[in-house]
Amino acid sequence: MKRYLVLTGAGISAESGIRTFRDSGGLWEEHRVEDVASPQGFQKNPKLVWDFYKERFKNSLSVNPNSAHEALKRMEDALGENFHLITQNVDGLHIKAGNRRVYEMHGSLKNCFCVSCRTRYELDEIDLSQDVPLCMKCKALLRPDIVWFGEIPYYLYEIEDKLKNCDVFIVVGTSGTVYPAAGFVMTAKLFGAKTIAVNLDRPDNLGFIDEFLQGKSGDLVPPLVEKLIG
């Protein structure tokens, strides 16, 4: 059986009502990226950062997976260990849809950790009424478990292994501009995988894509999955 690896980006979540990463002005939901998505921003104003992520966490609870997420869940059900999914998204929609073999390379809105003792918590078990939540063990600051600019994404070793050993690599809803994820398709193709991309716009790394399907992921991913798994 062929081994399938999927990478998803902001485009797949946008169709569930979650806004894409940043607009043409370089803002992230009306905030300067460096203010809410960098270690320096957190050090300068942790309350602003926490206000931002509390709101995003609250919004994530009110949105649901769309037909593209559901199709990728069916794909995992059919393929089992021959399916894995990498997501750049932090909204948890793949897990809400039922996917289990998921690498959340940029972290998750539902988690946080202590900057001192590194104890990890889920947001629904801490006191979010505090301006800046504190660790229940050592009373140091908690921070959102999000990979910010200048930080190393999670699961890179596991992702590299999967990229080198997949037969088909599918990219959904990503522009191919943000590294290291934008380089994954190059690695997969170098090691012999067929590469497929689904996106509203032509991705920057189109030269490494064997088959490009242009349009909404909710429209195109379900028939693609049916075609691939029967």
DSSP string, 69-94: HHHHHHHHHHHGGGEEEEE---S-HH
**pLDDT at position 195:** 98
CA distance 97 to 61: 13
| pLDDT recorded at residue 126 | 93
The residues that are catalytic are 106
Assess whether 135 and 216 both reside in one domain: no
Residues 88, 192 within the same domain: yes
The verdict on 161 and 211 lying in the same domain is yes
Q: Are residues 35 and 25 in the same domain?
A: yes
Query: How many domains, the chain?
Result: 2
Segments in the chain forming alpha helices (H): 10-14, 33-36, 39-44, 46-61, 67-79, 93-97, 156-165, 184-190, 217-229
Which residue segment(s) compose the domain that 69 sits in? 1-17+65-106+153-230
Do 123 and 202 sit in the same domain of this protein?
A: no
Closest CA to 220 of 4, 26, 29, 8: 8
Same domain for 128 and 204: no
User: What does the pLDDT look like over 57-79, one tens digit per residue?
Assistant: 998 899 999 999 999 999 999 99
Residue whose token pair is 């931002």: 52
pTM of the model: 0.93
CATH code at 165?
A: 3.40.50.1220
46 & 119 share domain: yes
- Indicate whether 74 and 133 sit together in one domain: no
The whole-number pLDDT of residue 29 equals 58
Q: What is the pLDDT of residues 93-124, one digit of tens each?
A: 999 999 999 999 999 999 999 999 999 999 99
Residue that is last in its domain, among 146, 176, 201? 146
| Residue 120's CATH number | 3.30.1600.10
Residues 32 and 118 in one domain: yes
